[in-house]
């Protein structure tokens, strides 16, 4: 089966996105395909199928120039709302021993955190254009879920120390993102606040020049999959970093491997 020929036969217009039956496994509406500047990305979400990839379609230079001009001139029409802070969420005092222990463990003394009294959560605010639009809270008392999204409006959590150097490291949790930013000044740590990548994530990733995927060791297959997805969607130089432990534990070999991978 020539999957590339089948994809091109769908004849998707620039900017068009479709949900289709998978020609490989026969899954009903399990495959998504989208055309971005003549680059058709397809992916089957049926467990065990693995059909995914990208095909270069046909698009004239004039079409590409028109599309890029439209993107440059377009402005978002939806403004993300400011988060309504719950009454249980407070600015903690220095006497909060539970939060202080957490901050000491992960070297977060310089990170402005809030504290949710309800579930005893360390709360990482997420800002957009100077406004708090979401927050990610980590339970310090065993509450479920361990990590809580407060509004779900934020797509990622980004942290950088100093002037951004164009490199971004994709991670799953906020603490790891902060750790990466601290061990490599200028590099942006980006927590995707979830377990999968989507178009909204790709919009953020596209703002950078180089990408490293550095998920937890037990997600080695997902790391490779994320690398493939980012390359297909963005066309950016992308590396998959194999870690011995979660990067937030600052294993010496992992930190050295990260710094080596950042030498583009």
How do residues 189-240 score in pLDDT, each as one tens digit?
999 998 888 888 998 999 999 999 999 988 888 999 999 889 988 889 999 9
pLDDT at position 74: 53
Q: How far apart are CA 29 and CA 149, in angstroms?
A: 29
Q: How far apart are CA 64 and CA 67, in angstroms?
A: 5
List the domain boundaries for the chain: 3-73, 91-261
Domain 3-73 maps to which CATH number in 1.10.286, 2.20.25, 2.20.130, 3.30.1490?
2.20.25
Kindly report the CATH class assigned to 91-261.
alpha beta
Percentage of the chain lying above the pLDDT 90 cut: 58
Comparing C-alpha atoms, which of 59, 20, 27, 62 is closest to residue 42? 20
Comparing C-alpha atoms, which of 186, 191, 193 is closest to residue 259? 186
Domain 3-73 and domain 91-261 have a common topology: no
Q: For residue 61, what pLDDT band results from cuts at 50, 70 and 90?
A: low
pLDDT tens across 74-97, in order?
544 457 899 999 999 999 988 999
């Amino acid at each position: 089966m020539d999957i590339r020929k089948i994809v091109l036969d769908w004849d998707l217009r620039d900017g068009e996105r479709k949900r289709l039956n998978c020609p490989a496994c026969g899954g009903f509406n399990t495959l998504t395909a989208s055309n971005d500047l003549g680059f058709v990305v397809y992916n089957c979400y049926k467990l065990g199928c693995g059909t995914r990839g990208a095909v270069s379609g046909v698009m004239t230079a004039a079409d590409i120039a028109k599309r890029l001009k439209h993107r440059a001139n377009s402005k978002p029409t939806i403004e993300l709302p400011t988060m309504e802070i719950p009454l249980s969420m407070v600015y903690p005092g220095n006497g909060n021993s539970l939060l202080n222990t957490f901050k000491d463990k992960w070297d977060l003394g310089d990170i402005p955190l809030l504290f949710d009294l309800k579930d005893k959560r360390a709360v990482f605010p997420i800002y957009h254009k100077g406004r708090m639009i979401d927050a990610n809270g980590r339970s310090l008392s065993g509450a479920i879920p361990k990590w809580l999204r407060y509004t779900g409006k934020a797509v990622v959590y980004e942290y950088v120390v100093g002037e951004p150097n164009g490199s971004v490291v994709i991670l799953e949790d906020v603490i790891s993102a902060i750790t990466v930013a601290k061990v490599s000044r200028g590099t942006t740590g980006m927590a995707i606040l979830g377990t999968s990548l989507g178009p909204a994530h790709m919009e953020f990733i596209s703002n950078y020049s180089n990408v490293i995927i550095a998920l937890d060791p037990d997600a080695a297959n997902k790391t490779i999959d994320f690398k493939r997805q980012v390359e297909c969607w963005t066309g950016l130089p992308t590396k998959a970093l194999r870690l011995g432990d979660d990067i937030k534990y600052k294993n010496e070999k992992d930190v050295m491997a990260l710094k080596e991978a950042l030498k583009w």
